[in-house]
A and B are shown apart, each in its own frame.
Chain A
Amino acid sequence: MVKNLVELRGLKVAFDGVQVLHGIDLDIARGEAIGLVGESGCGKSVTWLAALGLLPGKATVSGSVRVDGQEILAQPRHVLEGVRGKRIAMIFQDPSSSLNPVLRVGRQITEALAIHRGLHGEAAKAEALRLLDMVGIPDARRRIELFPHEFSGGQCQRVMIAMALAGEPDLLVADEPTTALDATIQAQILDLLIALRAETGMATIFISHDLGAVSQVCERACVMYAGRIVEQGTIQALFDNPRHPYTRGLFDAIPRLDGPRERLIPIPGTVPNPRDLPEGCAFSPRCSHAAIDCRTRMPALHSTDDGRLLSCHHPVGSHPPIGVTHPAEARVLEPLS
């Protein structure tokens, strides 16, 4: 058996000739929970839409996506259909975009059960009830007859998760599943994702712009910036000692609930337009640590001695890994605003 459940290699995406994803390498082990973080537009969603063949025709995708060792990128339809929904299921931020408004939710779940598991009739209905129960929809027997608009936002997200579970997937990709929800309901959904993973052993990819939410569910996270992974490591390592200035910026920007009232610590500027990426390190115009070489030389993603992946010429935090210039040796520039 191949060790990793899913392996992405050099995954690249361009829209109308503009490259937005610049080669993503990522291994997902069985049962693992990985977070994908970064500001909007950094390529988190596109990574998984591309891997699952869900991008529109104008997108050019290259690289490799292997599931249990089998290539699924640019393969005939039936190969992809055997994976999508069945081996890998994806849920989105906006449940209404994936639930059909004119079909009763029970019908939508039983259809998924027919496609992915060949269940029909009473067997499908019983399984649909079990799934709704599992995701915490009370009174499932009655609610199964209702339409999506008769559910609250948090409940729609639960129904979405039930549908995703219909194929008994090995990997659930949850794309900002809680961003539009109240903190109380967000906590419930995160709790549900944790419980389901413990119960079913499926791996989870959790996509979010909020490192706080990611650290609730995942052991490991990839930080993405401008279509690349810039740092990857355990949540604990990233949190205790962020090395990439962008990772540090994402943590610092989260306001604190405890402690005194404080000025917040933003990251200046915005994510660059993919048409117009800065030369050298794409983060350099916003980076408080940038030196002259950052504006000309693109840092490569390499593994460090503490077991993380990092792409930065002048990392912040402690223990500069061997082979990286110490920031003091380079002239530090003012960030462009």
Chain B
Amino acid sequence: MNEHFKTPLIEAKGLVRTYEVRQGMFGRATPVRAVDGIDLKVMPGETLGIVGESGSGKSTLGRMLLGIDPPQEGQALFEGKPMPKLATPEWRALRAKMQFVYQDPLAALDRRLTIAEQIGEPLAIHNLVPKPHRETRVAELMSAVGLRPDQAGRYPHELSGGQRQRAVIARALASRPKLLVCDEPVSALDVSIQAQVVNMLRDLQEKNHIAMVFISHDLKVVRNIADRVAVMYLGRIVEEASSDVIFKTPLHPYTKALVSSVPVPGKLLQGRVILQGEPPNPANRPSGCAFHPRCPLAADICRTSVPQLLSVADGRTAACHMVTRAEASVAA
């Protein structure tokens, strides 16, 4: 079926989020655009990866997709319908279908409750499973994420980091969501354990046809879990393409820099292009293309005119004055 005729599970239209930020200890509060006009779509069962440096607005965008952080401009649509207002009964009903998984599982769990109690919580809150069957459902969920039955009575601090994250994911799955927004779900874990959790997420997703927004600054993980990837810089998407092409033939200079900073095992750092300069600060947005102070290709036009996110090839968009359709077709 043609993608264009299907309704996206979630769609963002021109999302903007501004925070008041104080500069220094006594400075005046100035508005800062953390997310600055984002359009995106996620189809049912699809995984969209979101990458970018610290402060680029990934987490803010993730919260806005779920309606936890209301946008000042634009809107998020779930199954084609506008997101209800935060904390209304309609929003709560919808929340059962959309779940959030955070980076820090210890902070996401209640240390006074056993993990079985916490995994069962959403079943009770949304009254999804009659009480007598809850225990069975909790056992199912635990086994789905690879926790042993004897771990049901453990408290969060009695589990390893990887096991805690499994418990958080089991709880997120309890309400049979259609969408999971995972914000750096494996960043705090050892590489060996990261791989366990990533595989598990992929299996669960395929089996239950869950769509996923996977936020991470680790390109290697995103490459192996996402179908499509959006690269963010200072609150905007600067390039979007399928995961198969975006890391192989990055078009935007920022994506190129991100790809080149990924360590290759067994290879020395020498000879690689290292992106210079600090991660961007939205309180200090450069004129024109926000990337221009760090961009090796920056020309005069980049300092004055903001490049628009344009289609540069089939299913590929980029926001850069120097990336044209012709160049994109050579790369592809």
Binding site for B on A (CB under 8 A): 39-40, 150, 152-155, 182-188, 190-191, 194, 209-213, 215-217, 235-236, 239-240, 249-251, 253-258, 260-268, 270-271
Q: Which residues of B contact A194 (CB under 8 A)?
A: 269-270
Beyond A188-B276, A191-B274, A266-B192, whether A211 also contacts B265 by CB under 8 A is yes
A183–B196 CB distance below 8 A: no
Q: Which of B190, B199, B259 is most buried by chain A, counting CB atoms within 10 A of its CB?
A: B190
A270–B160 CB distance below 8 A: yes
**Nearest 5 interchain pairs by C-beta:** A239-B266, A266-B195, A264-B195, A212-B263, A267-B192
Binding site for A on B (CB under 8 A): 24, 53-54, 160-163, 190-196, 198-199, 202, 217-221, 223-225, 243-244, 247-248, 257-259, 261-270, 272, 274-276, 278-279
Q: Which residues of A contact B161 (CB under 8 A)?
A: 40
Beyond A255-B220, A257-B247, whether A153 also contacts B195 by CB under 8 A is no
Nearest Cβ distance between residue B258 and chain A, in whole angstroms? 7
13 A–B pairs (Cβ distance < 8 Å), ordered by A:
A40-B161, A182-B217, A183-B258, A186-B263, A187-B261, A188-B275, A253-B192, A255-B220, A256-B223, A261-B223, A266-B195, A267-B195, A268-B196
Residue of B nearest to A178 (CB): B263
Beyond A40-B190, A184-B261, A266-B196, whether A254 also contacts B269 by CB under 8 A is no
Q: For the complex, what is the distance from the CA of A261 to the CA of B275, rounded to whole Å?
A: 26
Nearest Cβ distance between residue B24 and chain A, in whole angstroms? 8
Q: For the complex, what is the distance from the CA of A185 to the CA of B196, rounded to whole Å?
A: 26
Beyond A250-B192, A258-B248, whether A186 also contacts B261 by CB under 8 A is yes
Nearest Cβ distance between residue B56 and chain A, in whole angstroms? 9
Q: For the complex, what is the distance from the CA of A39 to the CA of B191, rounded to whole Å?
A: 8
Nearest Cβ distance between residue B182 and chain A, in whole angstroms? 15
Beyond A182-B217, A253-B192, whether A264 also contacts B199 by CB under 8 A is yes
Q: Which residues of A contact B202 (CB under 8 A)?
A: 263
B221–A255 CB distance below 8 A: yes
B190–A209 CB distance below 8 A: yes
A39–B275 CB distance below 8 A: no
Q: For the complex, what is the distance from the CA of A125 to the CA of B243, rounded to whole Å?
A: 50
Contact partner of B195 among A213, A258, A265, CB < 8 A?
A265
A182–B279 CB distance below 8 A: yes
B191–A216 CB distance below 8 A: no
B279–A152 CB distance below 8 A: yes
B265–A184 CB distance below 8 A: no
Contact partner of B263 among A154, A213, A239, A261, CB < 8 A?
A213
Q: For the complex, what is the distance from the CA of A39 to the CA of B223, rounded to whole Å?
A: 23
Residue of A nearest to B54 (CB): A182
Contact partner of A215 among B193, B196, B265, CB < 8 A?
B265
B267–A183 CB distance below 8 A: no
Q: For the complex, what is the distance from the CA of A319 to the CA of B230, rounded to whole Å?
A: 45
Q: For the complex, what is the distance from the CA of A184 to the CA of B258, rounded to whole Å?
A: 6
Q: Which residues of A contact B243 (CB under 8 A)?
A: 261
Q: Which residues of B contact A216 (CB under 8 A)?
A: 263, 267-269
A39–B195 CB distance below 8 A: no
Nearest Cβ distance between residue B276 and chain A, in whole angstroms? 7
Q: For the complex, what is the distance from the CA of A148 to the CA of B193, rounded to whole Å?
A: 33
Q: For the complex, what is the distance from the CA of A250 to the CA of B265, rounded to whole Å?
A: 11
Q: Which residues of A contact B244 (CB under 8 A)?
A: 260-261
Contact partner of B190 among A39, A150, A182, CB < 8 A?
A39
Nearest Cβ distance between residue B185 and chain A, in whole angstroms? 14
Contact partner of B269 among A39, A187, A236, A265, CB < 8 A?
A187
Q: For the complex, what is the distance from the CA of A261 to the CA of B24, rounded to whole Å?
A: 44
Beyond A183-B258, A215-B265, whether A188 also contacts B191 by CB under 8 A is no
Residue of A nearest to B227 (CB): A261
Q: Which residues of B contact A239 (CB under 8 A)?
A: 265-266
B192–A39 CB distance below 8 A: yes
Nearest Cβ distance between residue B184 and chain A, in whole angstroms? 12
Q: For the complex, what is the distance from the CA of A169 to the CA of B223, rounded to whole Å?
A: 40
Q: For the complex, what is the distance from the CA of A253 to the CA of B217, rounded to whole Å?
A: 18
Q: For the complex, what is the distance from the CA of A85 to the CA of B305, rounded to whole Å?
A: 50
Beyond A215-B267, A258-B248, A261-B224, whether A183 also contacts B54 by CB under 8 A is no
B265–A251 CB distance below 8 A: yes
A253–B261 CB distance below 8 A: no
Q: Which residues of B contact A191 (CB under 8 A)?
A: 269, 274
